[in-house]
Amino acid sequence: MGVLSRIRGLVAIAVAQLRHERLRSVLAMLGVAMAVLASVMLVSTGIGVLETGQQKFDQSGRDLWVTGGPVELQPGSVGGFQNSLIDAHTIEREFEAREDVETANPLIFQTVYISTNQSEFETVVGVGAGSRGPSLSFSEGGGIEEGDTHYANGTYDGPMQYEVIIDERTARQYDLSVGDSVYLGGTLASASQNEFTVVGISSTYSSFVGAPTVVMPPSEIQEITGTTASDRATMMSVQVADGYDVEETGERLQQEYPEYTVRTNQEQLQATLQEQAVVLASGTGLVVMAVVAGILLLLNLQLSFVYRHRETFGALRAIGTSTRSLVVVVLANTLAIGLIGGLVGVGLAVPSIWAVNAVAATVSGFEGVVSVSWRILTGGFVVSFAVSLLGGVAASLYLGRSEPLKYLNR
C-alpha cells in the first residue's frame, strides 16, 4: 500500500469518527467558530475605529488641533463640560495674523436643551463653530450668513443671529426642516427663552462627534450656556497656509505657545485612542481569551476522544497499526474540526460585521465602524488552524505517551 493511499485511509477513518460522534464534533466546531468570530469581530472593530477616526480628521479640512488641556466633565453644571481653552477668540486672531496659518477656528462642545414646544426638553450636543466652508456639506439649506457677530470684539453685545444648523438625526427626531423654529439653551429657563431658526441641515459635526448636534456661532453657544466671561473653547482647529509644512508649523506654534498642546491629525487621533487605553486593552484581552478558550475546548474534547477510544487504539496497535498512523488519525480529526469551525466562524463574521455597522450607524451616526477585509478574514481562518493544530499536537502527544495495548488486558 502506498503512502498516499495509507494517508487517505487514515483520513477517512478520522472523518468517519466525526460522523459517528456528531454532537462532540459539532460542539468542537462551534468552539473554534466562536473563537474565530470573536477574534475577527474585535480586530475588525479596532481597525475600523482607526480608519474611521483618520477619515473624520482628514475630512475636517484641518491640519492642526490646539487644546489647553483635558476637557473636564462637570455634572450638574450648565453645559456639562469645563472646556480648557481660555480666551478662544483672542487666540483665533493671533493665529490668523500669522503667515503660516490660513484659518483658525474655535470649536466649543456643550450639552444643550432642545425643544420644539417649550414644554418637552431633551439634550443634544451643542457645537459652537464656523458654519461655512468647503469642509461642511449640507443636505438642505446652508450656513449662517452673518457669522459670529455677537462676539463684538469681546463685548458680547453684538446682534445674535438666532440661527442654527441641525444634523439629519435631529431633523428626523423632531420633524424639523429649514425655516422651522427650535428652542435651545444651557438651562431649561434659557432654552425656553431662546428661539432659533433652522437654516441648514448638515451631519458634518454630528459624524465628527458621533452624536446628534446643533451648530451655532461660538459666541452664541457661550451666551446661552453662560461661558462668555472666560471665552472658553474645547479646542482650536488650524488650517496651515499653502506652502508651509504642517509639522513644522505645529512645532513653531508649540514653541511660541507652550501653555497649549498642538497636535497634527495623526497625533490628535493617537491622543484620543490613548485616552481609551483601558477599552483597547480590554478588547485585546477578549481576543486572547477567545483564542485560549477555543484551544482549551478543543484540547479537552480531543483528550477525551483519545481516552474514550483507548481500547480501539489498543486493538489497532495489536493488529500492527503504528503509533504514527494513530497520530495521523487524531491530527486529521482535529484539523477537520478546526478548519470547518474556521469556515463557519469566517462565514458568520461577514453578516455580523454588516449588522454591527448598521446598528452603529443608527445609534452613533458613524458608518463603517467595523472594517471587513480579506486580510482579517484570512487571519481568522489562520486562528482556527492554529487552534486545531495545538489541540491536535497535544492530543497526539498524549496518545504517543500512553500504552493503548494495556487496555486490551482489562
pLDDT at 309: 63
The domain ranges of the chain are 3-56+277-409, 69-259
pLDDT at 183: 95
The sign of the CA dihedral 395, 399, 404, 406 is: negative
DSSP code of residue 50: H
- Rounded Cα distance between 58 and 156, Å, is 33
Are 340 and 30 a contacting pair, CB within 8 Å?
no
The sign of the CA dihedral 128, 132, 137, 140 is: positive
- Rounded Cα distance between 173 and 212, Å, is 10
pLDDT at 218: 92
Averaged in consecutive runs of 10 residues, what is the pLDDT profile of the chain (410 residues)? Answer: 53 59 76 80 73 62 77 47 79 90 88 89 89 75 87 90 92 92 92 93 80 91 88 88 88 90 77 54 64 68 67 63 69 79 86 78 63 80 80 72 57
- Rounded Cα distance between 89 and 20, Å, is 76
pLDDT at 76: 44
Instruction: Please list, residue by residue across 258-270, b when 16 or more beta carbons sit within 10 angstroms of its beta carbon and e when fewer do.
Output: eebbbbbbeebbe
Q: What angle do CA 123, 129, 131 make, to 5 degrees?
A: 105
Instruction: Look at residues 136, 156, 222, 150 and name the one whose alpha carbon lies nearest to residue 184.
Output: 222
First and final C-alpha spacing in the chain? 33
Cα–Cα distances (Å) from 336 to 24, 25, 90, 313, in that order, read 13, 10, 68, 20
pLDDT at 126: 92
Mean pLDDT, rounded, of the chain: 77
SS (H, E, C) 101-129: EEEEEEEEEEEEEEECCCCCCEEEEEEEC
- Rounded Cα distance between 410 and 402, Å, is 15
Backbone angles phi, psi at 71, to 5 degrees: -80, 125
